[in-house]
A = this chain, B = another copy of it.
Amino acid sequence: MTVPTTGRRERKKAATRQKIADTALRLFLEHGYDAVGIRDVAAEADVAVTTLFSHFASKEALVFERDDDFEQRLTRAVTDRAPDEPLIPALRREIHALVRHCVADDAAPIWGMIVASPALREYEESMRLRHAQSLAEALIAAPGLSRSATACRTIARFVIDAYALAREAGDPQAAVDEIFEMIEAAWKAAGQAPNGPRNGRSGAGG
């Protein structure tokens, strides 16, 4: 028989984690996020409360189970782009894809649940802050951008803002385009800052 890439233990752990996440999402969508307690989820998934919290850091994390994707996709859009591809269009493409995926019909109930719960909205906001920070680090580390660290951090925030704003807009895809026109202009302006670029070699950058 073939050698499994994962041992039985890891598979069981992943199964338990998935069972908890699935159970939680089902209960949340059935009865509402606030109406379902951690003890309910644990009982329905047939695990102890402590076990639940060994898999998920918080109740909100049960909803945003796959948020690592977001962070990685953004930083990879920076690091893995073609050597001659400008920065901002690459980010714009990625945000377009993320928004599209997020506004898709199958994600609508989950998104509605998040919007309806202040706790979940706040949690997502702090998630976005983390994403902006890791994107900022990727930008600062990227070669050839010729922008200051402050400019990189600023653009990172702006890009995350674009994602958040677009999702709330009537026409999300059009909003992405409109906001990225502004981001493009901001990025160009940062290249002409009086204090000058401090990151990488000289050049137009991006």
Contacts and interface: CB of A to CB of B under 8 A. Distances in A.
A161 B165 contact: no
Contacts of A179: 150, 154
Interface in A183-197: 183-190, 193-195
A120 to B, nearest CB: 12
A147 B198 CA distance: 33
B178 A187 contact: no
A158 B186 CA distance: 10
Contacts of A185: 185-186, 188-189
A15 interface: no
Contacts of A158: 157-158, 161, 186
Contacts of A184: 189
A161 B154 contact: yes
Contacts of A193: 178, 181
Which of A129, A158, A182, A195 has the most B CB atoms < 10 Å from its CB? A182
A178 B161 contact: no
A33 to B, nearest CB: 17
A175 interface: yes
A138 interface: no
B169 A165 contact: no
A189 B195 contact: no
A174 interface: yes
Interface in A118-159: 121-122, 125-126, 129, 148, 150-151, 153-155, 157-158
A58 B162 CA distance: 30
B181 A169 contact: no
Given A121-B126, A125-B125, A185-B188, 20 more contacts: A122-B122, A122-B125, A122-B126, A148-B178, A151-B182, A154-B162, A154-B165, A154-B179, A154-B182, A157-B158, A157-B164, A157-B165, A158-B158, A158-B161, A158-B186, A178-B190, A178-B195, A182-B189, A185-B185, A186-B189
